[in-house]
């Protein structure tokens, strides 16, 4: 029986697979012509956009305190266990991670005195926490690329007297995009780059970026990219920053001779978002639209409540995407082969029971896992 027929029979189940279906996916991923990829926005754990949306600078220390408490309540140590379990079940060759955070605290803070010293008391290193969780499961993944997007420090109100500077601490947040590769994947030509266009906040650049690399999986090579576009619809010239970032990425990839796989939280809603349409116009294919696993399922990935404690499914948008571009095909109809994709982190059973008795989602986004079998020239 042909491999494609075998896969089709195996994946007649729901888009959220059973453990048995995942086991079969892992077996099929051993085929040297297949690649399994995953995209996951892990979420800092608090709604930090409320800080950037402040209309009065005096509000910022209180908004920082609110977001910080949210981060503590969504405990990444616990959430990382659920994320590691997702990777364990799918065992993708390549994983694109967004909103990988590192947080520091300084107490008392000196931000209000000109911030002469950066906060350096480490609170959370999300990447190390996740890598430890993967290692505890016997999974052998490597960090193949990291891009720092921003490093921002803000004062946080911690006392009853807002006029006494000693009642303020400083909190420092670093944001990264990361690519992980399974140890059996050969990685080369790694590029870690920030986009030219970004949003400034209080004179601090809030950048976005991407990690791109060449990956050898089985018999084939791929250009794999993970990115996180700007979420705010900020207009610059006759476009938005998000579309300009998408254009910059497509320009970077325009000379790629390998099949291109772009994953990430693109913050452009499929199928009508402007940046999404830009990708389609440049010959990219949305892998979900070629999905053979019940393609009528919408594949929504956003968004759970900021505190991650919503008790009903709130996913109404498809922002986390896997886009593929292959030079195989004629008349612009690129052949990307069969796609078997599903959403993870989108079922009530995916939540984690916290010590306080509440159930918490692994992230405010769901992730996407896909097995691709992309033809290449000469195949």
Query: By three-state DSSP, how is residue 244 classified?
Result: helix
Start-to-end Cα distance in the chain: 19
The CATH code of domain 3-372 reads 3.60.10.10
Residue 290: how many other CB atoms lie within 10 Å: 17
pLDDT in tens, 237-257: 878 999 999 999 999 999 999
Mean pLDDT check: name the lowest of 114-118, 143-147, 334-338. 334-338
Q: pLDDT band at residue 95, thresholds of 50, 70 and 90? A: very high
Mean local confidence (pLDDT), 20-38: 77
Residue 287: closest CA among 270, 304, 268 = 270
Mean local confidence (pLDDT), 106-128: 92
252 exposure class (CB count in 10 Å sphere: 0-12, 13-18, 19+): middle
Report whether 177 contacts 190 (CB < 8 A): no
Q: What is the largest CA-CA distance in the chain?
A: 75
Q: Is the peptide bond before 368 cis (omega within 30 degrees of 0)?
A: no
Give me the phi and psi of 321, to 5 degrees please: -125, 155
Report whether 244 contacts 275 (CB < 8 A): no
Residue 169: closest CA among 185, 161, 158, 181 = 158
Q: Is the pLDDT of residue 1 over 60?
A: no
Bridge partners for 148 per DSSP = 176
Q: Is the peptide bond before 303 cis (omega within 30 degrees of 0)?
A: yes
Q: Is the pLDDT of residue 105 over 50?
A: yes
Give me the phi and psi of 273, to 5 degrees please: -60, 145
Q: Is the pLDDT of residue 2 over 50?
A: no
Residue 175: closest CA among 75, 241, 104, 93 = 104
Residue 206: how many other CB atoms lie within 10 Å: 16
Mean local confidence (pLDDT), 146-161: 91
Q: pLDDT band at residue 9, thresholds of 50, 70 and 90? A: very low
Output the pTM of the full model.
Answer: 0.92
Report whether 176 contacts 102 (CB < 8 A): yes
Mean local confidence (pLDDT), 88-113: 94
Q: Is the pLDDT of residue 8 over 50?
A: no
Element (H, E) at 298: none
Bridge partners for 36 per DSSP = 371
Q: pLDDT band at residue 236, thresholds of 50, 70 and 90? A: confident
Alpha-carbon gap, residue 114 to 111, rounded angstroms:
5
Give me the phi and psi of 65, to 5 degrees please: -60, -40
Q: What is the pLDDT of residue 14?
A: 42
pLDDT in tens, 121-145: 999 999 999 999 999 999 999 999 9
Domain residue limits, the chain? 3-372
Report whether 332 contacts 321 (CB < 8 A): no
Mean local confidence (pLDDT), 365-372: 96
Q: What is the pLDDT of residue 64?
A: 94
């Amino acid at each position: 029986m042909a491999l494609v027929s075998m896969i089709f029979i195996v994946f007649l189940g729901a888009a959220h697979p059973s453990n048995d279906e995942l086991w079969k996916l892992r077996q099929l991923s051993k085929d040297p012509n297949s690649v399994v990829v995953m995209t996951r926005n892990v979420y800092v754990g608090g709604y930090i956009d409320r800080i950037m949306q402040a209309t009065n600078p005096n509000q910022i220390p209180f908004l920082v305190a609110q977001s910080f408490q949210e981060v503590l309540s969504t405990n990444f140590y616990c959430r990382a266990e659920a994320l590691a379990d997702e990777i364990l079940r799918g065992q993708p060759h390549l994983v694109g991670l967004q909103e990988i955070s590192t947080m520091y605290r300084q107490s008392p803070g000196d931000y209000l005195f000109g911030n002469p010293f950066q906060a350096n008391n480490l609170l959370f290193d999300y990447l190390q926490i996740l890598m430890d969780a993967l290692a505890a499961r016997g999974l052998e993944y490597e960090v193949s690329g990291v891009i720092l997007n921003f490093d921002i420090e803000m004062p946080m109100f911690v006392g009853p007297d807002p006029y006494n500077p000693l009642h303020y601490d400083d909190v420092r947040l670093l944001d990264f995009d990361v690519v992980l590769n399974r140890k059996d994947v050969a990685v080369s030509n790694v590029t870690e780059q920030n986009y030219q266009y970004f949003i400034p906040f209080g004179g601090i650049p809030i950048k976005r970026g991407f990690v791109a690399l060449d990956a050898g999986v089985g018999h084939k090579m791929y250009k794999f990219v993970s990115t996180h576009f700007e979420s705010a619809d900020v207009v610059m010239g006759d476009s938005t920053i998000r579309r300009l970032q998408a254009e910059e990425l497509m320009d970077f990839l325009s000379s790629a001779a390998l099949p291109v796989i772009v994953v990430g939280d693109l913050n452009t809603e499929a199928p009508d978002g402007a940046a999404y349409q830009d990708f389609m116009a440049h010959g990219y294919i949305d892998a979900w639209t070629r999905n053979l696993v019940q393609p009528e399922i919408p594949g929504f990935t956003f968004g759970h409540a900021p505190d991650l404690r919503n008790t009903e499914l709130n996913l109404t948008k498809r922002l986390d995407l896997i886009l593929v571009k292959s030079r195989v095909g004629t008349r612009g109809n690129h052949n990307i082969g069969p796609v078997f994709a599903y959403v993870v982190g989108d079922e009530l059973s995916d939540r984690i029971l916290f010590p306080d008795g509440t159930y918490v989602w692994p992230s405010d986004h769901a992730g996407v896992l896909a097995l691709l079998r992309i033809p290449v020239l000469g195949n």
